[in-house]
Amino acid sequence: MTAGVTQGGARREDTPGRLKVLYVQLATPSFAGIEIVVDAICTELAEKHGAEHEVDVLYTSDQKGYPAEPRRYHAIRRFAEGHLSLLTILRDVIRRGRYDIIVVPQVEPTVLVWFACLGLRPNIAMHLHGNLQRERSHRKAKFMFFLMKALVLRHLSYVFGTSRRQLESFKVMFGAAMPCIWVPNPVRDFPKANDAPTVSPPFVTFVNVGRFDYQKGQDILVDAFARLHALRPDARLKLVGYGSDEAALRAQIDRLGLGAVAAIEYHPLNPQDALLASDVFVATSRWEGWSLAICEALRFGLPVIAIDCDFGPSEILTDPRLGTLVPAADPDALVAAMARYHDTIAEERQHAAFRKAAIDAYSVGQVVRVHAKALRLAAAR
């Protein structure tokens, strides 16, 4: 076990009136979706709202892609070697911290944190990020969901959700009168967001950014792109990310003869160069909790084609100038949408400024004010 604080500086003394907040990150292998969201929220809380909030983040695994730079919040990095070690770390940090509110992502980690703190009576808010129906698909998850509904839920102070439809699904699944609040994910600023695109006419480049795994559906995109390329030979594809399905995706690209027109790129912390060099973003996730990748594409003015999965895309793409939704399990509709955007790319570029302005509603500064209010509400229960 690695104990102690490795980033974030010395622990500050308690200040009367400041809300003491702990965000918990449980044993994830990569500094990716949820981790990037929490990092952005906590950085903004520390920098802009530090007079009202004292922010700690507990990391219990050595994540691939964790930033080398010291964090602006207080980062506690104590790595667990097994389940007992994890429970011990959680209990020790929470007991010592005397936090006003503890924010835990997802159902299973929240159950673990609650059991680790039996007798301490911590004030816990569960922060939903994903799709609850998908997350309870295996035996262990079903048991943890049962514990949440039968035992843990009534002891929580609040439930935060990244999308309104997600919170509606939670209420149906758990039948709970638990207070819920929508706290959208922030869309980070990029140094090059307003730079001129670096696209390469006459090619039209489609791009996807995300973790390479079954949920994100890059295999669906590669199949669709193969059909598109047969119709539009100047189409190109970039897959940006890393993950467990990378080898399978490379094999799929080779099998379909796309090696010269489809590329896999690695930009672990910042996809801005890939987005600047692309024309259309395509999201083919089988499910989402929100979709930070779609929002970041809009930050660069790209039109978006997205499968209409639960839950995020339909709540983001609310105007045809932002993009279009295609039905799930309809590959013909996906290929047709890609062909349409290919053929009208010049017209689509005229809406780039609208897309950038629309996504400002989810800027870090705007969203963190919502998070700060949610933290106060949860801590007051």
Q: Which domains does the chain show, CATH number per domain?
A: 19-186+364-379 (3.40.50.2000), 204-362 (3.40.50.2000)
Sequence-distant (6+) residues with CB within 8 A of 352 are: 301, 302
Average pLDDT of the segment spanning 336-354: 97
Q: Which residue has the higher pLDDT, 43 or 28?
A: 43
Sequence-distant (6+) residues with CB within 8 A of 249 are: 212, 218, 219, 222, 239, 264
> How far apart are the C-alpha atoms of 217 and 195, rounded to whole Å?
29
> How far apart are the C-alpha atoms of 18 and 281, rounded to whole Å?
42
Residue 325 tokens, joined: 């939704």
Instruction: Quote the DSSP letter at residue 104.
Output: E
> How far apart are the C-alpha atoms of 171 and 33, rounded to whole Å?
24
Q: Check whether 38 has a pLDDT greater than 70.
A: yes
Sequence-distant (6+) residues with CB within 8 A of 320 are: none
Q: Check whether 13 has a pLDDT greater than 90.
A: no
**How many Cβ atoms from other residues are within 10 Å of residue 8's Cβ?**
20
Mean pLDDT score of the chain, rounded to an integer?
A: 92
pLDDT band at residue 129 using 50, 70 and 90 as cut-offs = confident
Residue 187 tokens, joined: 């869309």
**How many Cβ atoms from other residues are within 10 Å of residue 266's Cβ?**
9
State the pLDDT at residue 310: 86
Contact of 28 with 35, CB cutoff 8 Å: yes
pTM: 0.84
Contact of 130 with 107, CB cutoff 8 Å: no
> How far apart are the C-alpha atoms of 229 and 223, rounded to whole Å?
10
Helix (H) or strand (E) holding 295: helix 292-299
Is the previous residue joined to 105 through a cis bond, with omega within 30 degrees of 0?
no
State the pLDDT at residue 1: 40
Contact of 210 with 218, CB cutoff 8 Å: yes
Query: Collapsing DSSP states into helix, strand and coil, what is residue 320?
Result: coil
> How far apart are the C-alpha atoms of 125 and 113, rounded to whole Å?
11
